[in-house]
Amino acid sequence: MVESATATVLSDAQRNELRTLARAGASTQKLARRCRIMLLVAQGLPNRTIARQVGVSRPTVLAVRSAFARGGVEALRHDQQRARKRRKLTADLEQKLIDTTLHSKPLGATHWSTRTLARHLGLSHMTVQRAWQSRKSQIQALDRTAPLLPLRPGLPERRTHDYKRHGTTTLFAAFDILSGKVIGQCASRHRGKEFVKFLNQLEREVPPELDAHLIMDNYSIHKSPPVQRWLKPKKRRRFHFHFTPTGSSWLNQVERWFAEITNKRIRRGTFDSVAALEKAIYEYLAAWNQHPKPFAWNATADIILAKVERCKELSVTGH
């Protein structure tokens, strides 16, 4: 049985505005997608058909129709403006959020959740979640509450499930995608001035006759005033910053290396101080750079596109 849907009648002005917003480079993907949905709704297409064509779920189509019915095109614009306001996360605010997470506890509980910390700081829980997700380079110095029990005949290595925490360090790392060499530096915090110290190390270690193209994510410290001032001198014009979208394969290279050091040196290690943790990190860096190895992607474009199509189908069917 074919699902029926009532077409929304659009004025010429509304139709032209929706088409413009759907194609405008300044529109977010979310706003452009909503505009495409409404243009298809105006054709009287079934909701499931629209969901399949746009690559969203049927409830999303219903929500867009409802928003448009309440306030027209402005309702779609208003949601975009609210989303932009929520996304603003300054470096100082993020540092305050992380410091509160690591060095305090909520009353009557052992740790913060996104919502309890959001209420405590007067933020949205999504802002807290984004700040927590950006802590990838922070590493905790964890020590077991009891010594590890080593392997024995017929028995695996045994360890306690709980830890003693002795602080954190931040690892800045640059992965050379051609040679596999890693330049790394530990710092007590993750701010612009610490990143500048890491850039100074890169400047010393990258041969002066080479241009250095640094491919980074859009994290706020990469664009902070201290970093911008560092780039100004003529001698540093060989350094070029490139900011990529989330999930870029260039960044996956260094993320893959972070997985290596986590699995092979940190996860099963015990560290009674930050100094011990940093010593272990530098030892691993030295060992890795004796025989560096770049990572190679084996997946073809056809395999990747097939996975994307399967994900779209799952988002429509819900199975």
Query: Which pLDDT band, with edges at 50, 70 and 90, does 288 fall under?
Result: very high
Residue 2's pLDDT is 47
The long-range contacts involving 73-80, CB below 8 angstroms and separated by at least 24 positions, are 73/14, 73/17, 73/18, 73/21, 73/35, 76/21, 76/31, 76/34, 76/35, 76/38, 77/21, 77/31, 79/30, 79/31, 79/34, 80/27, 80/28, 80/30, 80/31
Asked if pLDDT for residue 249 goes beyond 70, the answer is: no
In the chain, where are the structural domains located? Answer: 12-87, 91-133, 138-147+161-290
List, in order, residues 6 or more apart from 128 with CB less than 8 Å away: 97, 114, 115, 117, 118, 121
The 10s digit of each residue's pLDDT in 79-136 is 554 444 444 667 677 778 877 877 788 887 777 888 888 888 888 887 887 777 656 5
Spatial contact of 214 and 174, defined as CB atoms under 8 Å apart: yes
- Distance set, CA 116 to CA 89, 92, 120, 125, 183 (Å): 18, 20, 6, 8, 38
pLDDT reading at 3 higher than 60: no
The pairs formed by 56-63 with CB atoms below 8 angstroms and a separation of 24 or more are: 56/315, 56/316, 57/315, 57/316, 57/318, 58/316, 61/37
Q: What is the pLDDT of residues 192-203, one digit of tens each?
A: 889 999 999 999
Residue with more model confidence, 165 or 162: 165
- Token pair, residue 184, equals 């790394």
Mean of pLDDT over the chain: 80
pLDDT value for 188: 86
Lowest mean pLDDT among 82-96, 146-160, 176-190, 199-213: 82-96
Predicted confidence at residue 266, as pLDDT, reads 84
Average pLDDT over residues 8-20: 84
Instruction: Count other Cβ atoms within 10 Å, centred on residue 254.
Output: 21
Number of helices (H), then strands (E), belonging to the chain: the values are 12, 5
pLDDT over 70 at 205, yes or no: yes
* Cβ count near 18 (within 10 Å): 24
Range from 82-86, 87-91, 238-242, 254-258 carrying the lowest mean pLDDT: 82-86
For residue 178, what are the β-bridge partners?
A: none
* Least confident window among 49-58, 146-155, 289-298: 146-155
From the candidate CATH numbers 3.30.420.40, 3.40.50.200, 3.30.465.10, 3.30.420.10, the one assigned to the domain spanning 138-147+161-290: 3.30.420.10
Does residue 287 have a pLDDT over 90?
A: yes
Q: What is the model's pLDDT at position 244? A: 78
